[in-house]
Chains A and B, each alone.
Chain A
Amino acid sequence: MIHQNTEAGRTISKSHSSFRKIVVSSLIFLIIAGFLLDIMLGSVSIPFREVVRILFEQTSEQTAWLYIVQKIRIPKAITAVLVGCGLSVSGLQMQTLFRNPLAGPSELGITAGAALGVAVVMLSNGHITSMPAIRQLGISGSWLIVVAASMGSALVLFLVVLIAGRIRDNVVLLIVGVMIGTITLSVISIWQYFSQPEQLQEYILWTFGSLGGVTDYHLYVLAGTVIMGLVLAFASSKALNVLLLGENYARSMGLTVGWARAIILASTSLLTGSITAFCGPIGFIGIAVPQLTRSLFNTSNHRVLIPCTCLIGTLLMLACDIIAHMPGSQTVLPINIVTSLLGAPVVIWIIVTRSNLRASFV
């Protein structure tokens, strides 16, 4: 009897995992295609054969193409991969930790916290938060920005966690998160109010978000921080799985909840903080990608979810970047506009299909 059941169970899970393998391999294929496409397309069109040659032989007919691909487009595509992975995974962690399908880095005001962290550093320097300003800093300066942004997001996250301990209602928590985000942004606004018009323009450009301009050691700093955050996230996947049952159950199964929460918060702050510092506040990826992954893979197991959100997040970010460059034209749309255009309908879809949002965590 027991053996029969076990057999039946294994066959079903086998067909399940073969479906997953198909999805994962097609995702990887699409990501490679998207990566190449992202390098090929842009205001200057470079033929596919040349792109491959530059990638594998590091030579090209035109030195301008070599420079564009190596110094601009590859760093930008790698940044897209890092942003896609980082924001999606931090969104996933927040949704599980707060047991709230609408939680995400920008929704709970975490990106606003990161912006505040960046602003504080810049203010003490007498400059304004902007990519050019960050770029002018040396390697120690970019680390400083990452630390400040991560601390800013950790501060907001910590506040949200404190309030979440008192308020169990999903929607109320979300409103509180939005309010904390508003307060943080208004602090930045006060400082903006006393700024020069040209500085303001730079700040507003920063809020549009940009994947470009993260080059050289900035890219190493961003990559190092995001990988650290992802490793922490993966290490906490077992804890995230038991946290699905709620903190009390998790505790009864031997989880030290405070410790687990600290690791998850550290991971989320590092991911959101570093990405926001370099690329501006990019919205909706953090909330939409975990939802898409859950419905595609039909699981809540974080050991599957974390790698798979990385894949989908990467693919979506690459797609957004391709769309932002509007192939065939000279115009470049800000990345934040594209992610919002794609992401906002997903959020509306979640709210409409989950009419019992208040009671359930999906």
Chain B
Amino acid sequence: MTARKSILTAVDLSIGYRLSKGQTYKIAGHLQLNLWQGELVCLLGPNGAGKSTLMRTLAGLHPALEGYISITNLPLSDLKPQDLARKLSMVLTERVEAGNLTVYELVALGRYPYTSWLGTLTAKDVTKVYEAMDVIGITAYQHRSIQYLSDGERQKVMLARALAQDTDMIMLDEPTAHLDLPSRVEMMQLLHQLAKKTQKAILLSTHELDLALQAADKVWLLLPDGNLQVGTPEDLVLKGAFESAFARNGLHFDQATGGFVLHRDNQGPVIGLSGHKDLVFWTRRALQREGFRIETDQTNAYRIEALFTNNQPDWTLYQNGISVQYNSMAELLAALQLWKNN
């Protein structure tokens, strides 16, 4: 096994904006970043933490305040736009509205850095375009005009275009932002496979926390104070990095599930809960929504036992020794509400 190639390196990088009179507004400083080939990295962070600025700085679209960036061991500042375009391709958030452009034509635009001044495609260019469309799985609708594509299909076309640009690294700014849930999952799967199959380095910014934690080889977590945490998703979760990043009122990151919990600070009555683990999971969610505090303590005066009887879920509510049985969550919740209101 050969050693992995470093695609992007940033040393002591400071990002931010230059204001007038030599003043600067620094978003984050002293960043040490590394991106290796075949690696999928997700850039996460709350809104306004500076994810976009970081992406734009790494792509050479925004000047860095201090520090050094290199792409495939060449300093970013020395690369001409045409040369940089052969090393780094991008998928942006803006929606492309170019009527009368077919999927094939749009993907073929990715060959721009390689074609002559007239933009004529050589046989090699055509092969690259078809390779890109095959990998993404959009060849079947290559002749469709892009204005008739769904958002998910459109995003895949933009990804294929970046792939046809034949670069060592692809950067995607919130590639899942406008997609429905199945398309989001598909896009993340695609990116994960793409990194492994093509050995490209892929950096994407996203708000899709649970998907990112599953798909990413590494997470860059940018905190509002300008601190950047780097690590495998699991290490960061267990270190509690996400809890501090997203610390806001009423929002709680659950280490057990890797997602956010909505109802943490409940003040309602205490109730006991036990039974089959699947039923307990869903019952807990329903009860938390209703404002109850859950205890696994079996000795509580009020407790619920949730079990499967003949493969049908049923709930038994024990109140001071009296037990009543319910066959649906709705019935159980109705009964509990009566009790809570009295």
Contacts and interface: CB of A to CB of B under 8 A. Distances in A.
Interface of A: 1-2, 5-6, 9, 12, 99, 235, 237-238, 241-242, 244-246, 248-249, 251-256, 294, 298-301, 303, 359-362
Contacts of A300: 98-101, 105
Contacts of B81: 251, 254-256
12 contacts: A5-B130, A244-B96, A248-B61, A253-B85, A253-B110, A254-B81, A256-B81, A299-B100, A299-B101, A300-B101, A301-B105, A361-B98
B119 A303 contact: yes
A299 B108 CA distance: 14
Contacts of B105: 299-301
B99 A249 contact: no
A247 to B, nearest CB: 10
Nearest to B93: A248
Interface stretch (B139-147, B189-197, B261-269): B139-147
A5 B80 CA distance: 35
B302 interface: no
A2 B131 contact: yes
Contacts of A251: 61, 81
B78 interface: no
Nearest to B56: A248
Nearest to A297: B100
A359 B96 CA distance: 10
Given A5-B130, A241-B109, A249-B90, A298 B100 contact: yes
Interface string B92-104: 1010111111001
Given A5-B139, A242-B109, A300-B101, A254 B82 contact: yes
B126 A6 contact: yes
Given A9-B143, A300-B105, A252 B130 contact: no
Contacts of B165: 253
B119 A241 contact: yes
Interface in B55-100: 59, 61, 80-86, 88-90, 92, 94, 96-100
Contacts of B113: 253-254
B97 A238 contact: no
Contacts of A5: 130, 133-134, 139, 142
Contacts of B82: 254
B3 interface: no
Contacts of A238: 112, 115, 117-119
Most chain B CB within a 10 A radius of its CB, from A235, A252, A255, A298: A252
B97 A359 contact: yes
Nearest to A295: B100
A237 B118 contact: yes
* B interface residue count range (under 10 / 10 to 19 / 20 to 34 / 35 or more): 35 or more
B52 to A, nearest CB: 12
Contacts of B139: 5
Nearest to A246: B94
A1 B134 contact: yes
Nearest to A238: B119
A252 B101 contact: no
A237 B116 CA distance: 12
B59 A2 contact: no
A246 B105 CA distance: 15
Interface in B110-138: 110, 112-113, 115, 117-119, 126, 130-131, 133-134
Contacts of A253: 85, 89, 109-110, 112-113, 165
A300 B109 CA distance: 12
A298 B59 CA distance: 34
A358 to B, nearest CB: 11
A222 B262 CA distance: 71
A252 B142 contact: no
Given A242-B112, A248-B92, 14 more contacts: A5-B130, A244-B98, A245-B106, A248-B61, A252-B89, A254-B84, A254-B86, A254-B113, A255-B112, A294-B100, A298-B100, A301-B105, A303-B119, A361-B98
Nearest to B110: A253
Contact of B101 (A1, A99, A244, A249): A244
Most B Cβ at <10 Å: residue of A9, A99, A251, A253: A253
B126 to A, nearest CB: 7
Nearest to B143: A12
A6 B97 contact: no
Contacts of A99: 97
Contact of A303 (B84, B88, B110, B118): B118
A253 B115 CA distance: 11
Contacts of A294: 99-100
> What are the 4 tightest A-B residue pairs by CB atom distance, in nearest-first order?
A254-B85, A362-B99, A238-B119, A254-B82
A256 B81 CA distance: 7
A6 B108 CA distance: 13
Nearest to A3: B130
Most buried by A among B94, B98, B131: B98
Greatest chain B CB density within 10 A among A1, A6, A294 is at A6
A245 B96 contact: yes
B100 A362 contact: yes
A303 B119 CA distance: 9
Contacts of A360: 97, 99, 147
B87 to A, nearest CB: 10
A252 B100 contact: no
Given A9-B143, A254-B82, A254-B85, A245 B109 contact: yes
A235 B119 CA distance: 10
Nearest to A99: B97
B164 to A, nearest CB: 10
Contacts of A255: 81, 112
A235 B118 CA distance: 7
Given A9-B142, A246-B94, A252 B59 contact: yes
Nearest to A359: B97
A301 B109 CA distance: 10
B119 A237 contact: yes
B336 to A, nearest CB: 48
Contacts of A298: 100
Nearest to A9: B142
B159 to A, nearest CB: 13
